[in-house]
Amino acid sequence: MYLLFILLMASNSKPDQDGTESVIQKSFDYYFTCNLQNNEDAISKYKQYHSTEGIWPEVTKAAEVSGVNKLQIYIQATRLVMIISLPESLSFDEFNQRYAESSPKIKEWADLMRVFQIAPPGAEEGKIWVKMESIYDYQR
pLDDT at residue 84 in the model:
97
Q: Whole-number mean pLDDT of the chain?
A: 87
User: What is the distance of C-alpha 43 from the center of its chain?
Assistant: 20
Q: Tell which residue, 35, 50, 42, 122, has the closest CA to residue 80.
A: 35
Q: Determine the Cα angle at 45 with ends 133 and 86, to 5°.
A: 35
Helix boundaries (H) for the chain:
2-11, 40-49, 57-66, 92-101, 105-114
DSSP classification of residue 36 = E
Instruction: Give the helix/strand (H/E) hosting 82.
Output: strand 79-87
Asked if the model's pLDDT at residue 72 lies above 70, the reply is yes
**Tally of CB atoms within 10 A around 62:** 21
DSSP classification of residue 104 = T
Q: Tell which residue, 91, 107, 92, 95, has the closest CA to residue 59.
A: 107
- Which domains does the chain carry? 26-131 (3.30.70.100)
Query: Is the whole model's pTM more than 0.75, yes or no?
Result: yes
Q: Tell which residue, 62, 38, 58, 50, has the closest CA to residue 117.
A: 38
pLDDT at residue 13 in the model:
42
pLDDT, one tens digit per residue, over 5-64 is 333 333 344 455 656 566 667 899 999 999 999 999 999 999 999 999 999 999 999 999
